[in-house]
C-alpha cells in the first residue's frame, strides 16, 4: 500500500510539473496564431501584393483608424479577398505549400525504415 501511494504521488508530481500554466498556454496560442497569419500573408503575396498588404493590415490594424476608415478598409479588403482569380491562386499556393511540407517530411523520414530494420536510428537529418 505504501508503494502505491508513493508511485501515485510521483505520478501526480510529474504530471503537474510538466503541465502548462495558463500564461504559457496563452503565449503558445498567440505564437501559433501569428505563425498562421504570417503563412496566410506569405501565400497571398504569391498571388497579389496589394491583397497581402491588406491582409497584413487586417491582422495588425492601426490604432488611429476611425469608424469610417474601418468601413472603407473592410469593403476594400472583402472586394480583394473575394476576387475569384485571387481565390483560385490562393488555393493553388496553399496546395503547393502542403505538398512541399509533405515532401520535406518524406525527405526527413525516407531512410528511417531501412535503419530501424537493423536496430539503428537515423541520427542525421541535415545530411540532405
Q: Establish if 27 belongs to a structural domain.
A: yes
Q: What domain range is 40 assigned to?
A: 21-117
In-domain check, residue 125: no
Q: Is residue 124 part of a domain?
A: no
Close Cβ partners of 55 (under 8 Å, ≥ 6 residues apart): 37, 40, 41, 44, 77, 81
**Which three-class secondary structure string do you get for 20-77?**
CCHHHHHHHHHHHHHHHHHHHHHHHHCCCHHHHHHHHHHHCCCCCCCHHHHHHHHHHH
What pLDDT score was predicted for residue 117?
Answer: 57
The C-alpha torsion from 81 through 87 and 90 to 91, rounded to 10°, is: 140
pTM over cut 0.75:
no
Q: Is residue 41 part of a domain?
A: yes
- Residue 3 inside a domain? The answer is no
Within-domain flag for 1: no
Q: What is the pLDDT of residue 25?
A: 87
Local confidence pLDDT in tens for the 128 residues of the chain = 677 777 777 777 666 666 778 888 889 999 999 999 999 999 999 999 999 999 999 999 888 889 999 999 999 999 999 999 999 999 999 999 999 999 988 887 776 665 555 555 555 555 54
The count of structural domains within the chain is 1
> Residues for the chain: how many in total?
128
Amino acid at each position: 500500500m505504501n508503494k502505491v501511494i508513493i508511485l501515485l504521488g510521483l505520478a501526480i508530481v510529474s504530471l503537474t510539473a510538466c503541465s502548462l500554466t495558463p500564461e504559457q498556454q496563452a503565449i503558445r496560442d498567440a505564437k501559433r496564431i501569428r505563425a498562421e497569419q504570417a503563412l496566410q500573408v506569405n501565400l497571398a503575396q504569391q498571388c497579389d501584393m496589394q491583397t497581402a498588404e491588406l491582409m497584413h493590415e487586417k491582422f495588425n490594424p492601426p490604432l488611429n483608424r476611425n469608424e469610417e476608415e474601418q468601413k472603407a478598409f473592410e469593403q476594400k479588403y472583402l472586394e480583394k479577398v473575394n476576387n475569384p482569380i485571387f481565390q483560385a491562386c490562393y488555393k493553388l499556393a496553399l496546395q503547393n505549400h502542403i505538398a512541399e511540407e509533405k515532401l520535406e517530411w518524406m525527405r526527413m523520414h525516407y531512410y528511417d525504415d531501412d535503419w530501424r530494420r537493423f536496430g539503428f536510428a537515423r541520427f542525421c537529418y541535415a545530411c540532405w
